[in-house]
């Protein structure tokens, strides 16, 4: 199947040891001692996108960009959007406004210096803008970003604002918030934009959800995933809880083939272009 609507394909560029759920096992001050796997995984994703003639947005950590500048340039040179995922993958909800602002300004400066291009988009690690830190939107606008994709309008144990709008909205500051896609059914919002649910559930569920949003809501979807999700050979953290291990490792060996199908079944583009006039 194909869609006349172009959806936004987004990748959060971080390595497996930087995931919030694994933070207790990988202290930030020890990251440089952990072998990175992100470059080979992102290169595979770039090849996958190129094979389908698709473009996407790469929300990238400043920490990663400083260590792999050539990778970031390859992303930009291939016509993809380089956007910000903050500098050190700290949850916005765990930071003061001052620390948060410093983090997102630093990440923006690092990415712009490497690519020579402006950075207009930001995504908070773990979708960590919630009802208790909505002040973060003002910080994002003041730091010079045009849009954020930091709110997930679902109920989840680690993030989410279930009552938030399902589609892009504009704040008083002028910043546009682009929430990850959900499907409205049975009186609640259901995750439909990738992440762990894309690995957990059969592929046909994700395909049906995105097609439904395109057809019934007549809106583009925004899909997200991480480079480590196509890497079944990544080191296992046996000390993590059973819940964390299940969420992190389920169906890693199937993700790349599912992404290949997803890129075939729908039209995909950059978030900054897909949602340019959305709100």
Q: For the segment 224-270, what is each residue's pLDDT rounded down to a tens digit?
A: 999 999 999 999 999 999 999 999 999 999 999 999 999 999 999 99
What local confidence, expressed as pLDDT, does residue 154 receive? Answer: 82
What local confidence, expressed as pLDDT, does residue 157 receive? Answer: 59
Task: Label residue 73 left, alpha or beta by phi (over 0 means left) and psi (-120 to 50 means alpha).
Answer: alpha
Predicted confidence (pLDDT) at residue 1 exceeds the cutoff of 60: no
Sign of CA dihedral 94, 96, 100, 106: negative
**Could you give the angle at the alpha carbon of 49 between the alpha carbons of 9 and 107, nearest 5°?**
55
- The token pair at 33 is 């001692």
DSSP state letter for 22: G
Query: How does pLDDT run across 77-131, given as a tens digit for each residue?
Result: 999 999 999 999 999 999 999 999 999 999 999 999 999 999 999 999 999 999 9
Query: How does pLDDT run across 130-173, given as a tens digit for each residue?
Result: 999 999 999 999 999 999 999 999 876 566 688 899 999 999 99
Only one residue has tokens 């997803």, namely 262
What local confidence, expressed as pLDDT, does residue 167 receive? Answer: 97
133's CB contacts (< 8 A; 6+ apart) are 92, 93
Per the CB < 8 A criterion, the answer to whether 275 and 10 are in contact is no
Mean pLDDT, range 193-206, rounded to an integer: 95
215's CB contacts (< 8 A; 6+ apart) are none
Per the CB < 8 A criterion, the answer to whether 45 and 263 are in contact is no
Question: Rounded to whole angstroms, how far apart are CA atoms 83 and 107?
Answer: 9
What local confidence, expressed as pLDDT, does residue 242 receive? Answer: 96
- Alpha helices by DSSP H, listed for 68-121, are 69-77, 97-115
Per the CB < 8 A criterion, the answer to whether 15 and 38 are in contact is yes
Greatest Cα-to-Cα distance within the chain, rounded to the nearest angstrom: 49
What local confidence, expressed as pLDDT, does residue 162 receive? Answer: 87
What local confidence, expressed as pLDDT, does residue 277 receive? Answer: 84
What local confidence, expressed as pLDDT, does residue 3 receive? Answer: 46
Mean pLDDT, range 43-61, rounded to an integer: 98
Only one residue has tokens 């990415």, namely 111
> How many residues belong to the chain?
279
Question: Rounded to whole angstroms, how far apart are CA atoms 191 and 90?
Answer: 23
Predicted confidence (pLDDT) at residue 2 exceeds the cutoff of 60: no
């Amino acid at each position: 199947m194909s869609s006349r609507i172009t959806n936004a394909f987004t990748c959060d560029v971080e390595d497996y040891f930087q995931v919030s759920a694994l933070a207790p096992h990988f202290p930030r001050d020890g990251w440089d001692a952990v072998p990175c796997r992100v470059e080979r995984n992102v290169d595979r994703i770039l090849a996958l996108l190129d094979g389908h003639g698709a473009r996407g947005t790469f929300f990238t950590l400043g920490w990663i960009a400083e260590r792999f500048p050539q990778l970031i340039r390859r992303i930009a040179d291939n016509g993809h959007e380089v956007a910000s995922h903050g500098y050190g993958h700290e949850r916005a909800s765990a930071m003061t406004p001052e620390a948060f602002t410093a983090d997102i300004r630093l990440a923006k400066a690092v990415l712009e210096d490497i690519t020579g291009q402006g950075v207009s988009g930001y995504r908070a690690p773990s979708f960590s803008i919630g009802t208790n830190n909505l002040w973060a939107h003002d910080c994002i606008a003041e730091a010079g970003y045009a849009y954020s994709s930091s709110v997930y309008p679902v109920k989840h144990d680690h993030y989410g604002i279930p009552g938030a709008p399902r589609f892009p909205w504009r704040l008083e500051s002028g910043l546009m918030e682009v929430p990850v896609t959900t499907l409205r059914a049975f009186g609640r919002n259901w995750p439909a934009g990738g992440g762990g649910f894309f690995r957990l559930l059969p592929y046909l569920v994700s395909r049906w959800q995105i097609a439904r949003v395109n057809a019934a809501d007549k809106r583009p979807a925004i899909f997200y995933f991480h480079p480590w999700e196509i890497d079944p050979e990544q080191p296992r953290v046996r000390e993590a809880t059973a819940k964390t291990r299940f969420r992190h490792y389920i169906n890693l060996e199937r993700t790349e083939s599912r992404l290949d199908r997803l890129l075939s079944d729908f039209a995909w583009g950059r978030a900054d272009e897909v949602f340019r006039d959305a709100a």
